[in-house]
Amino acid sequence: MSELRGKLNELFNRVCAGGAPPAPARFMIAEVGPKDFKGAHPVIDRSKLQDAEQYAERFRQLLGAGYAWLNLSYYGLIGQTGLVVVELPGAAPRPEVRSPRTSVNLSGPVMAVADANWDATAFVVLVGEEPDSDDHDGGGSKHSAEPTAQAVNKGESTMPTTGEKPGKGTYKCKKCGQLVTLDDDTDTLPPCPKCEHTEYDKVA
Ligand SMILES: [Zn+2]
């Protein structure tokens, strides 16, 4: 068992036992320092969240780095996932004080989170992109995500778009490749019948 997993078990079994916040099967770890707080509220970049297994080695290194303390706080749920924040001190680690070991301070969700049905966002500030929110479709998600984002940013693109009357012809959905045929110059391009995407390439 990794040090992190041991501490997580301790956190849920002992510290949180009285207040009964849920102990989810899956955790995400966010590491923060003094600069990552807005008042009392940690500001968490979604793209930097790591799962417990990914973070275990980093945690092991932190424990051996000579920090006076580390705070390990369960801040509540993001959806079905538990958010655990590892807070580092502002002071640089002092390798010479490795012994006695770094004190790991455990804490559970604050009352505001408990009152919000353990929703972590009642206390933490989430910023940045949701990790792999586009990846659930699997496969070529990277492929399709980029042109979409570019097209949205461009705004003045000339590509045929849902709601326009680009004229008689066959149009191919940029996202899934579905073909849509317009029989008449007055026909309006619909959302893709297969995936509801709104951008097309004219193919015929
Ligand atoms: Zn489509």
Q: How far is the CA of 149 from the centre of ligand 1 (A)?
A: 15
Residues lining ion ligand 1 (Cβ < 5 A) are 173, 175-176, 178, 192, 194-195, 197
**What is the pLDDT at residue 68?**
86
- The residue ranges of every structural domain in the chain are 3-131, 137-202
pTM of the predicted structure, to 2 decimals: 0.55
% of the chain exceeding 70 in pLDDT: 78
pLDDT band at 102 (very low <50, low <70, confident <90, very high): confident
Q: How far is the CA of 146 from the centre of ligand 1 (A)?
A: 15
Q: What are phi and psi of 22, to 5 degrees?
A: -65, 145
Q: How far is the CA of 80 from the centre of ligand 1 (A)?
A: 30
| Sequence-separated contacts (24+) of 146-155 with Cβ below 8 Å | 147/174, 147/199, 148/174, 148/175, 148/197, 148/199, 151/199
Tokens representing 115 are: 């009152």
Q: How far is the CA of 2 from the centre of ligand 1 (A)?
A: 45
Average pLDDT over residues 4-22: 69
